[in-house]
Structure formats: C-alpha cells, structure tokens
Amino acid sequence: MSTDRNADSRQLQPNLVLAAKREARGWTSRRRAARELHRIWRDNLPGCPDIESLEKSLYRHETGRVQVRDETYRKLYCLAYEATPHELFGSVDTETANERNLIVRSHKFIPAFVGVEAAARLRSDPLAIGDVRHWLDCKVVPVEVINGQCDLHVWPFGIVILHLVEDLALPNIAALSVWRIQSYKDNMGWATRKMRELVGHDDTEASYILSAYWVDKAPWSGEMLDTALRILAIPKVLLERDVDPENSLPHAELVERSLLAEGFEHADMVSFGIKGISIGYASWSGVVYFPMAKQRALAEDDLVHCELAVQALWSYSDHLNRMVERDVDPIVPEEFGWRFVRGARSRITNARPQENEQHRSMRNAILATCELESNLAQVIETLREVVGGNGR
C-alpha cells in the first residue's frame, strides 16, 4: 500500500481520558458503550441518534479524528461518566503545538492463517491488485475503516495480514503506550470480525498485532532522543503488568521521565540506524524508525514491505509449528511444502543486488529479534519428514 497521506489528513490526538472512562465503566467494547450512551441520551437529551451512529462518533472522539465540540455530545459524556467538561475535554479551543508533540505514523500488522483455498478466493477479488514491491508474491485488497487507512495483504500459502495505518500526535511516549494497549483490544476484535466476514469462516482468528512506528517529529535531541526511540521500540516497559486504564497514564509518565533521565537499554534490542541519517531499533515488541535525513534514509515503504514479508512467513511457520505441538502432522499443498519454505527463507534472509547497507541492516535487525529463521528451519525439517508434506 502507499503510505502517502491525503491532503486533508491530519495528525490524531486521541482522547485517552474518554477511553479510560469508558473502560472504567466496564464497557470494554464501543458497541456496548454505544448501547449505554443511547439509553442515557434517550432519557436525558433530545434528538437521539441510532446506536450505530453513536458507536461511530465514539470511535472518532476517542481516537481524535474529531474533537468533541458538539454541545450535546459533551453533555452526554459528562452524564455517562459523571465528570466535568474540563476533565473530559480540557480546552478544545487551543490547538496543540505540534513542535512539542511526538508525531508518529503507527503501522499495525495483524495476521491470520485462513488456508490456501480461502486465500485463493480473496486473491481473485476484482479489487485485489499485485504489488511488485512485496518481497513475496502477494495481492492487496483495500479495506474500509472509520479511521486511518487499511489494506488486506493476501499470500497464496494461506496467510492474510490486515495492515492498519494511523497518524498520531501525542505529548509523550507514555500516551502512546496507553493508546497502544487500549487500541489493541479493539483492533483484535475488529480484525477477527473483518477476517471472518471476508473469508466466510467463523473459526478464523486474528493471531496477534505487531507494531512499527515511523517517527516524523520528536521533541528530544541528543542522547535523550536515542533513549526515547529505544523506549518506543518497547513501549510496554512504561506500564505496570496489570494495567488500569483509569490510572495508568500518570504512572507511565513518571517511568518515562525516569528512563529518559537515566537511559534505557535492553539486551534483545538491535539497532539499524546510520549515524547522522537515521535512528532505528527493532525488538520482539516492535520496530521504530526516525529518518533524520529523509532523502538519504530508508523510505517508509522499505520498512513496511520488509515487515509484511517477515510477519507473513512468521505466521505461516507458527501455524505449522503449532500443529506439530498438537501432535498433528502438517499436510500442505506440494507447492507450499519444504522447498517453498526453503526458497522463501532464502528470499527473506539474503541481500538483493539493489539493496544498500541500510536495507541489509534493517532486515538483519528485524530477523534477529523475531526468531523467524529458527522457526523456518523447524518447519523445513518437519515438512521433509511428513509423507504428503512434500517430504518425498
């Protein structure tokens, strides 16, 4: 997919207070919240919209697509959450100074195994297009979302990935960390529903979410900037194990200030930046990249297509390895057996003639932190042993 933004797009400023208040009420889904808000509106305010419209507005208000300027909605939220306007909305008349904000484009990769037949049906969709930039044969189907941009990437060996892109403007890393864990809950449920709708199977499940953050602007410099990007690669380090959305942000901000002052290291984190050009880090939790010299740094699509290929193969190998763990011999079509996996491993691990040192460093860092090569090695060994798994 293209990561170019439309001319009318802008950075999002999520209302973390609204989301926290909703979850504190036990309304873990926006659909549940919309039903409750519908009841409150109907009992206290005129002109009640339908539940679907309320759910869509709630999504837009919580994610920051629009600020809550409508007086009726402001009264509704205050009634529902027993809070003051200032507590919920602050000052909506003052635009946040972007130069003091962390400006990030969030890429979420949400994979699932759907099977070869279902993948073939999706790939035959008239809207599906091929993309020569993909490292492996892949077709892309656009997916409509309320906020951001989303495409479904489909590989013939039975893996699909929803790639969700959202623009964020946040005051600190702590706010991103809280937004991340809150949005993951909604994203996983939404992704599973969307995949089931597209595939037509009720047993289809989104597997996990892997995030990559493309930093457009950062309010730090020097060593503090490097430390901040390290934290961004593992943002959950700011949160306590049992996260309370109502109270997690203040504590996360304290931890962030402490780490920025003292420094942050992690043994499993790998750097792939080039001094004076970019700062990049990969970890098991995700990837972060800040192009300081944009014309000489990696392009955003370089990172996106590398991660798409890695996550597609990781999901395929994980699916097959889990079958082995359940004492089931994985039987796959011959064209996607051990020879296919061996060839895909070569494509993902070996440098291409047109690649430069930055591409190679990025790929090596991502591979080193996701353990894909060991997963693929196990799959190749298993498929070679299984009769019918292309082991002949």
Together in a domain, 321 and 223: no
The answer to whether residue 386 scores a pLDDT higher than 90 is: no
Together in a domain, 218 and 333: no
The answer as to whether 8 is a domain residue is no
Together in a domain, 290 and 209: yes
User: What pLDDT is stored for residue 391 in this prediction?
Assistant: 44
- Alpha-carbon span 213 to 230, nearest angstrom: 11
User: What pLDDT is stored for residue 91 in this prediction?
Assistant: 54
Mean pLDDT within 109-114: 96
The answer to whether residue 389 scores a pLDDT higher than 80 is: no
Token code pair at residue 26: 């036990």
User: What pLDDT is stored for residue 89 in this prediction?
Assistant: 79
Mean pLDDT within 182-208: 90
Together in a domain, 314 and 278: no
The answer as to whether 9 is a domain residue is no
In the three-class reduction of DSSP (H, G, I as helix; E, B as strand; rest coil), residue 312 is classed as helix
The answer as to whether 1 is a domain residue is no
Give the residue, 60 or 147, on which the prediction is more confident. Answer: 60
Helix (H) or strand (E) holding 244: none
Residue 21: exposed, middle, or buried by beta-carbon count in 10 A (0-12, 13-18, 19+)? buried
Mean pLDDT within 40-58: 88
- Alpha-carbon span 66 to 58, nearest angstrom: 10
Q: Which of 104, 103, 8, 22 is nearest to 57 (CA)?
A: 22
Q: How confident is the model at residue 387 (pLDDT cuts 50, 70, 90)?
A: low
Q: Which of 335, 320, 334, 314 is nearest to 382 (CA)?
A: 320
Together in a domain, 230 and 315: no
Domain span holding position 199: 101-298
The answer to whether residue 92 scores a pLDDT higher than 50 is: no
Cα atoms found within 13 Å of the Cα of residue 45, Cβ hemisphere only: 18
What count of residues does the chain have?
392
User: What pLDDT is stored for residue 307 in this prediction?
Assistant: 96
User: What pLDDT is stored for residue 11 in this prediction?
Assistant: 63
The answer as to whether 81 is a domain residue is yes
Together in a domain, 320 and 282: no
User: What pLDDT is stored for residue 162 in this prediction?
Assistant: 96
User: What pLDDT is stored for residue 68 in this prediction?
Assistant: 85
Q: Which of 335, 308, 337 is nearest to 320 (CA)?
A: 337
Boundary of a domain, candidates 234, 263, 298: 298
User: What pLDDT is stored for residue 350 in this prediction?
Assistant: 87
Q: How confident is the model at residue 283 (pLDDT cuts 50, 70, 90)?
A: very high
Mean pLDDT within 350-374: 90
Together in a domain, 212 and 284: yes
Together in a domain, 111 and 165: yes
Task: Return the percent helix, strand and coil in the chain, to nearest 5.
Answer: 50, 15, 35
Together in a domain, 147 and 233: yes
Token code pair at residue 329: 């011999």
Boundary of a domain, candidates 250, 276, 298: 298
Q: How many domains does the chain have?
A: 3
Together in a domain, 361 and 218: no
- Alpha-carbon span 241 to 248, nearest angstrom: 10
Token code pair at residue 222: 């020097």
Which of 51-60, 73-82, 89-98 has the lowest average pLDDT? 89-98
Together in a domain, 83 and 117: no
The answer as to whether 96 is a domain residue is no
Tens-place pLDDT, residues 231-252: 999 999 999 877 665 568 888 9
Boundary of a domain, candidates 298, 316, 344: 298
Using an 8 Å Cβ cutoff, are 206 and 111 in contact? yes
Give the residue, 328 or 282, on which the prediction is more confident. Answer: 282
User: What pLDDT is stored for residue 259 in this prediction?
Assistant: 94
Together in a domain, 121 and 269: yes
Whole-number mean pLDDT of the chain? 87
DSSP state of 166: E
Please compute Rg for the chain using Cα positions: 22
